Structure 1
Amino acid sequence: MSEPGGPTTIGIVDDHALFREGLREILWAHDDFAVVGEAGDSVEALTMVAGERPDVLLLDIEIPGRGVLDTVAQVRAMSPGTKIIVLSMYDGPQLLSRLLAAGIHGYLLKSVHREEVISAIRSVVNDPDRLVLAVSRDSLAQVNGASSDVLTDKERQVLEFAAQALSNHQIATRLGLTEATVKRHLRNIFVKLGAVSRIDAVNKAVAASLITSQRDPGAGPQGFV
Structure 2
Amino acid sequence: MNPIRILVADDHPVVRAGLAGLLNSQPDFEVVGEAANGAEALALVEKLRPQVVLMDLRMPQMDGVTAIRQIRSHHPKTHVLVLTTYDSDSEIVRAVEAGATGYLLKDVPREELFRAVRLCARGEAVLSPPVAARLLGRMRGPAEENLSTRELEVLTLVAKGYSNKEVARALKISEATVKTHLLHTFGKLGVDDRTAAVTAALERGILRLEG
Q: Map 1:47-86; keep pairs closer than 5 Å.
A: 47-86=43-82
Could you tell me which amino acid in structure 1 is paired with residue 171 of structure 2? I
Q: Map 1:121-132; keep pairs closer than 5 Å.
A: 121-125=117-121, 127-132=122-127
Residues 1:80 and 1:145: Cα distance change in structure 2 (over 3 Å):
farther
**In 1, are the aligned partners of 2:127 and 2:183 still within 8 Å (CA)?**
no
- Which runs of 5 or more structure 2 residues have no equivalent in the other structure? 158-165, 191-196
2:42 corresponds in structure 1 to 46
Query: How far apart are 1:22 and its partner, in Å?
Result: 1.1
Could you tell me which amino acid in structure 1 is paired with residue 127 of structure 2? V
The answer to whether the aligner puts 1:194 opposite 2:189 as a matched pair is yes
1:99 is matched with which residue: 91, 95, 110? 95
The answer to whether the aligner puts 1:17 opposite 2:13 as a matched pair is yes
The answer to whether the aligner puts 1:36 opposite 2:35 as a matched pair is no
Residues 1:38 and 1:120: Cα distance change in structure 2 (over 3 Å):
same
Separation (CA, whole Å) in 1 of partners of 2:17 and 2:111: 17
Separation (CA, whole Å) in 2 of partners of 1:134 and 1:97: 15
Size of the aligned set, in residue pairs, is 191
Could you tell me which amino acid in structure 1 is paired with residue 125 of structure 2? R
Secondary structure of 1:30's counterpart equals coil
1:110 corresponds in structure 2 to 106
Q: Which one is further off, 111-120 or 180-189?
A: 180-189
The answer to whether the aligner puts 1:171 opposite 2:195 as a matched pair is no
Residues 1:188 and 1:108: Cα distance change in structure 2 (over 3 Å):
closer
Secondary structure of 1:135's counterpart equals helix
Query: How far apart are 1:27 and its partner, in Å?
Result: 1.4
TM-score by length of 1: 0.69
- Which runs of 5 or more structure 1 residues have no equivalent in the other structure? 205-214
Separation (CA, whole Å) in 1 of partners of 2:132 and 2:177: 28
Secondary structure of 1:90's counterpart equals coil
Separation (CA, whole Å) in 1 of partners of 2:98 and 2:210: 26
Separation (CA, whole Å) in 1 of partners of 2:182 and 2:189: 10
Separation (CA, whole Å) in 1 of partners of 2:51 and 2:210: 31
Query: How far apart are 1:87 and its partner, in Å?
Result: 1.2
Over the aligned positions, Cα root-mean-square deviation in angstroms equals: 3.7
C-alpha deviations, 1:46-68, integer Å up to 9, x for none? 10011111111000111212222
The answer to whether the aligner puts 1:183 opposite 2:178 as a matched pair is yes
